Every structure is written in structure tokens, then in C-alpha cells.
Chains A and B, each alone.
Chain A
Amino acid sequence: MADGFVIETADLRKTYDGIDALRGLTVSVPTGSIYGFLGRTGAGKTTTIKILLGMARPTAGRASVFGLPAHSPTASVDIRRRTGFVGDEKGLYDAMTVRGMIRHTASFYPQWSRELEEQYLRRFDLGAERGIKTLSRGMRTKLALLLALCRGADLLVLDEPTTGLDPAATEDVLQALVGHAADHGTTVFFSSHQLTDVEQIADHVAIIDRGRTAVTGALDDLRQNYRRIQLVFDGDAPAYTFQVKGVERVKRSGRVMTVLSSAGIDGVLGEARQLNPVSTDSAPVTLKDIFLDTVAVED
């Protein structure tokens, strides 16, 4: 694994029928991390996952998993052998029973753990003889998770694992992920538009917006470096363009100028001094704020 990254993409682009699903996505997922892949619906999360698993081929750019090229059909088989996947619709074979689905899936993975299988069957309270068609969404998710966890994968790729689940089921799923990652050192890459899930269990995040990476990094670094700085002026806040690095966004409203900085406050405050604000104030920024500020702004 080159440089300790399980997944690496560089300027990844994908056009589906003339529509740009990805427009330059660059992410590096460190080995052993729980990586939250955040974006609004339609931002390109599922497309990225499909490319990583060889279900779709990139139009341009590079994507590798375990250092293997994801676009190569032969390498892709090796990638999938070491990867557990939970799709966003929790798709399984409706005609099978829980047990049948498990045996079918297990047959593809020589390292399948019967012990983990029994453990998760009990823990998730999945009736082995039940038909898949009769399972609730939460149960399907848990079964899909079981299938992904028991195969001895080095990487788990989950597309919106908690979407549509009630809080209790969400907690069960996240807890199983965290516990599994702690026990086995498995790298977890999960997409979500649920900020709370990402904040809770991720240590690295990428925020993507309309097919492009908007923010990436260690979550702790983001929490430590992102600051919202408020400058209050005597008259209307001046129209000013900051030169200092890390200014993500500036909003003016009457006497108040709000600056979102991704590099702490000192640079911004130093530069702001020449504008003679009457008061300055700063506050830490939550992931939600970062998300809303980088993604949801209409331009």
C-alpha cells in the first residue's frame, strides 16, 4: 500500500451520458482510518464508490485501492476480494433466506469467519431462516453489514449505511463498525449525508460538492483549524478581499463581517487590523458549519 493509503484518487472524473458525476475528485484514505465521505445527495458519492469497486470506469483521472488500479478488471477482482461492500439500497437477493444469502456470500471468501457470523447473527437478532423479502430496512442493513464484516476484509466500503434507519438501528450499525475496526484494524470508508454519524465515528473526512473535493483532512485538524471570526465595524462592513491563506468564505451583513477560516484566526485577525474593526470575536466551527459553508452555498 503506497504511502499508507488504502484508497487514493487523483483528479477523478466521470461523465454518465453527458452528465458530469465527478469533476476532479482527489482523496487519500489512510490505512486504518474510519473515513467519512460527506456530500449532499447527488454529489457523486455513489459514483466514486462504483469506480473504486470496478462497477464503473472513470472517464479521466486515477483511482487505486490497495495500490491496485481500480479501472483494471483483473485488479478489480483482487480489490473486491479484500473489500466488504454495503450498497446504499442494501440490495440482496430477495428470493433467498438469510442463511442462504450468508452461505452464498461466504462461498466467495476463503477467509470467511463462521465465528463472527454466529456472533453477528445473535447480536443483530437476525432470524437465519427468514426470507430476505420479509426483512425491514434496518434488518437488511444489518445483514448486509454481517456479510461485509465476516469475510475478513481489509477495507469496508459502505454507501450511506445509516440512511433510513431509526436512531437505535443507526447506533447498532455504527457500534458494530467501530468495534470491528478496533478489533481488526479494518479501514472503513463510508459515504453519508448524515453529519452526526460522520462526526461520531470518523477520524478523517472528505466533503465533496458537485463531484469535486471541497474539504479533506483529519477531523481533529479541521475542528482545530476552522474558526469563524466576526468583525464588527462602525459603519457598514467594508468590501474587502483577504490575501491571507485559509479564508474560505466572507459574508457581510450590515456592520458585521463574518470570515470562515481554515487556518486558525491569527492570519485573518492580523490582516483585519488595517480595516479598524471595533470588535473582533471568534468561535470554533462544527463540522455542520463547515459542511454548510462549503457545500450548501448556491453560487
Chain B
Amino acid sequence: MDDWWTYSIADLILFTPETYFHLFELYHWAWWPLQLACITIAIAMLLCLWLKPARGGRVIAILLAASWAWVGWAFLHLRFAPIHWVANWYAVAFFLQALLLLIYGISRRGLEFEFGNSVRAVIGVILLLGALLVMPATAYLTGREWMQAELFALTPDATALATLGLLLLVKGRVAIWLAAIPVAWCFITGATLWALEAPEAMILPAGAILTITMMLVPTRRREAAN
């Protein structure tokens, strides 16, 4: 398409809210009871964070990579692409994110997590728990069916937000590189939901802005001090 700049966001969203949200319902029914496995993955990640086992960072990175790859294939490619012509490109981005997480997951040091009393860590925990515990309820809270829920490791928004929360707990600059695609997704999904007039449209963009702020502000301070 050589005239993309002439389109507004709403022009590019060529499906109705009913079709989009019903997609989640069909997807959840199709893969039931995989949701239980996803909840298990979430609990495993939280335990790794809490108990800090020797290779916990690697386990988290690999589980995250698997989640991104699954969402890219099962949701974006198989479900979303038939109604949205750019969804296969989104799927490619999700596979790339999975690859990046896998590379860090199997590298020598893996992802290293640290909890402190910093605002960054607090925001990270809030985003992570929000993605795991609050996002599944947003569909119901906004008047839709439970089966249209966002669920970590199964649907894109909860997966992206949980990833950002985790990355705020990761030591070093690697978090910035790994946050690029999840942040981009937060704005894409925010725009989509906004065009569909969904009340929760601003949740993910807000999470992305918080993440960017938390990741960049301390870096700039250090640079200024030098």
C-alpha cells in the first residue's frame, strides 16, 4: 500500500468490535483447557522471581519466549490475520521477540532479576500483577463475556504487559532492547482498541509510557552525572 499516510486509524481497522472480541471467545474455546497451562506458566514465573533458583532467569526468559511464539502463531497468525491484513506482520514481530528472549534465555548469564525498593521495581511488579491478575477481568468488567478475556501466554495484550513488567525487574541495558517490541505492541493495540471504542484502550499505552519512563530516566540521570 503506497498511500498509507492518507488513512486514519479507524480506516485501517476493518472489523467491528463484536467480531474482534468474539475472536477471543472462539480462540479460548478452541484451545481449552490450554488456559490452565498458561496459568501454570504464570505461577512458575512468579515462583522463579520469588524463590530465585539458580537458573530462574533462564527459565523465565524461555517461558516468555514460548509465550510470544505461541501468541504470534495461534492468535495473530491463525485467528487475527483472516480479519486484519497486517496481523501476519504482527506475528512476525512476536516471533522476533520470542527469538530475542530465547537468545538471552540460553546465553551464559540469562536474564538477571533484581528487586529493590526502587520505583522502577514497584512499577514492574504492578504491571506484572496487573497483566496476570487484572487483565483477565477487563473483558468482564467492561461488559463482555469472561471467555473474551485477555490471558498471559495466550493473548497478546496480557503477554506484552507482563513482559514489560518483568523487564522492569531485569538488571542492565538488555531490558531496553527487549522492551522495544512489547512497547510497540502496546501502542498498536491501544490504537486498535481506541478505534473500536473499547473502554480499556488506554491501559497498554499507559503501561508502555510508564515502562519507557522508568527505563530511560535513571539512564539519563547517570549520563548527566558523568
Q: Do A and B come from one complex?
A: no
> B: which residues have CB within 8 A of A?
none
> A: which residues have CB within 8 A of B?
none
